[in-house]
Amino acid sequence: MVTGAASGIGFALAEAFAKEGVNIVLADVEEAALAVAESKIKAHGVDTLAVTTDVRKAESVEALLAASVAKFGRVHIVCNNAGVGGANVDPWTGPLSVLEWVIDVNFWGVMHGIRAFIPHFAANGGGYIVNTASIAGCMTGFSPIYDASKHAVVAISDSLFWSMKEAGLPIGVSCLCPGWVRTGIVDSDRNWPEELGDKPVSDPAAQSILDYGRKAISEGMTPAAVASMVLDAVQEDQFWIFPHQDFLDIAIARWDRIGERINPEPPKQLPGMPPRAQMIAELMRAMEQAAKNG
Ligand SMILES: NC(=O)c1ccc[n+]([C@@H]2O[C@H](COP(=O)([O-])OP(=O)(O)OC[C@H]3O[C@@H](n4cnc5c(N)ncnc54)[C@H](O)[C@@H]3O)[C@@H](O)[C@H]2O)c1
């Protein structure tokens, strides 16, 4: 079972497992894309089930478990992968709805997946959970609320791994922490939930930084390459999955600074992006221009 299976890394995970002959439950909130994804996965000759699911809601994920069991009797692997990048608003003063949305999808989505499927695994001889975090779960510098949501995913995945071992349950756990991957994440607000009100308007002054992020993602690793690393990790019971060594080095350097009790600072440059100082200068110029234009 894969959440966020209609697009990007989730679709690639579904496809990689299908190529191994594994039957697939695809779950996603974006119905039309989910239907297209299901027909592509079915073409690999495996049985499929598509379940429209909003991972923010425990009852929706419980219904996903029930539908999966009704169709296949048993689930063996759960990929809690659905996630959103958030909108380009100020985290300290911008709309609270954006912050809640990011935490609800990225953190609660994973938590609901764990809480729904662990009892099923425990009652049926075990299973495997892959949680998609991000390298943003091990460092800061992307967006504070996204970073916070992914730190939370890393923390619960880490605890889940050892608590399953301590409990003697045959339930494996992996935590996926990629850098840039070529997906639709920059346009996450296509799934902005109507119940949260109007979609927040992106801050035009920060557009230049967003454009750099979009470019870095469009030139990022393919989702298929990431999915292949996930399959290897599941086979080898490997917890940490770090597809990008350059990003991991930045995360390790942060911990080296923590060890020295040095005050926090953002990375001077993210792979695939210009130096931070250049981006800040561009941002300031854009803000001045916006102020002049009234
Ligand atoms: N693309 C990257 O550079 C990158 C890097 C690190 C981590 N990630 C993580 O990878 C995961 C997958 O994202 P992606 O990059 O493939 O982006 P994507 O936008 O291509 O795919 C995300 C999928 O999640 C679905 N989704 C969004 N909200 C949902 C909800 N409430 N319930 C169910 N499904 C929902 C979307 O419809 C979409 O199909 C996310 O957790 C993301 O944070 C992505």
| Domain containing residue 224: CATH number | 3.40.50.720
Q: Which residues pair with 176 in a beta bridge?
A: 132, 241
Ligand 1, pocket residues at CB < 6 Å: 3-4, 6-10, 28-30, 33, 53-56, 81-84, 105, 132, 134, 178, 180-181, 183-185, 188, 191, 217, 220
Name the domain count of the chain.
1
pLDDT tens-digit series, residues 104-162:
999 999 999 999 999 999 999 999 999 999 999 999 999 999 999 999 999 999 999 99
Nearest to 234 by CA among 160, 163, 165, 131: 131
Domain that holds residue 173: 2-292
Q: How many residues does the chain have?
A: 294
Q: What is the pLDDT along the chain (294 residues), one digit of tens a residue?
A: 999 999 999 999 999 999 999 999 999 999 999 999 999 999 999 999 999 999 999 999 999 999 999 999 999 999 999 999 987 788 899 899 999 999 999 999 999 999 999 999 999 999 999 999 999 999 999 999 999 999 999 999 999 999 999 999 999 999 999 999 999 999 999 999 999 999 888 777 677 788 899 999 999 999 999 999 999 999 999 999 999 999 999 999 999 999 999 999 999 999 999 999 998 888 888 888 878 887
pLDDT tens digits, 259-273? 999 999 999 999 999
Catalytic-residue membership of 146: yes
Gap from CA of 256 to ligand 1 centroid (Å): 30
- For residues 15 and 6, what is the distance between their CA atoms, to the nearest angstrom? 11
Helix (H, G, I), strand (E, B) or coil at 131: strand
Helix boundaries (H) for 31-143 = 31-42, 58-72, 96-102, 109-123
